Amino acid sequence: GGFRIDIMASKIELARSIVRSGRRVCVLTGAGISTDSGVPDYRSPGRPQVKSILYNQFVGHHRHRQRYWARSMFGYDFMSQAEPNDGHHIVTQAQQTNSIASILTQNVDGLHQKAGSDGVVELHGSIHEVVCLDCGHVTPRNALQVELKALNPDFIDAVQEQQSGGRSALLGALRPDGDSVVKVDYSNFIYPECGVCAGMLKPHVVFFGESLPRPRSDLTTELAGESDVMVVAGTSLAVWSAFRLVRMAEKNGCEIIVVTRGPTRADELVKPELRFRCESTPAHALSLCSSIALSHRPSPSILAIDAVDTDRKGPMWDWS
């Protein structure tokens, strides 16, 4: 139950024919592709609204940095252990068969790379890296994790006492950016400085209120601009950094195919016959749109994956 696709075979064939006629495929994924890996999204039904830390808060206040690193220390272990799901592997297979030319992702979890995809452009950076805001030195997040735990053994004990629900409680507290809701006193939490210059360390991700680095913004603009088909699957495109790519592609005459559960910011740019509404697991939504892409040799399209239900497992169907 709970599995519906409000599209006809003719719509599927139309989408496939559009992709076949393209030249380059650019894949853009969002948080929903990772929910089958246990990483939550921001906007699926039933998810509580959350307020992520703002860039100015993080750089401006020691207390905010204490709070961020304390919660991140608790959530990062799970993020680092998450494994790619079928959706990530489908994208990798499409890349390996030259069905897509580039992969863009709004996610910071690194699961596309873990699935074997190459050259993934991470719009919002990587949760698996830490950058010094003073000297620019980049270090692995897992090395910082070891240091944070060594500096704060009492905090770990306090969190474990709070989370009496075990792993299920952890998953309920986890957020897509690796932050985790833990209700303990952060005032004594210790976080390290840069080992090179003693500067301020920050996760190598783009916080709310922070601009994308110009080189990354230019690269994503170029890749989206080269596309002549854009498949948007499962992202609401609420974030400007992703929506602008869809809007720009549409202005360039790019065909846009949308595969999501709910409405997106770009719906007015999409022809009704190219809007696919799904209720399934995120991997299934991706299977649908990736099957379109996989039916075609090198060509353009952008896939974005949004959150959908997780009450059904197994393949959607074989479109070969």
Reply yes or no on whether 124 is catalytic. yes
Angle between helices 62-81 and 153-162 (to 10 degrees): 70
Contacts of 154 (CB under 8 A, 6+ apart): 188
Strands 4-5 and 275-279, by their bridges, are: antiparallel
d(CA 262, CA 306): 9
Degrees (nearest 5) of the Cα angle 84, 274, 121?
Answer: 35
* CB 36 within 8 Å of CB 283: yes
Contacts of 74 (CB under 8 A, 6+ apart): 159, 170, 173, 180, 182
Of 238, 228, 282, 241, the closest CA to residue 259 belongs to 282
* Burial (Cβ within 10 Å: 0-12, 13-18, ≥19) of residue 114: middle
Angle between helices 153-162 and 141-151 (to 10 degrees): 90
Choose the catalytic residue: 124, 204, 284, 296.
124
Name the percent of the chain in helix, strand, coil, to the closest 5. 40, 15, 45
Contacts of 215 (CB under 8 A, 6+ apart): none
- Return the active site residues: 124
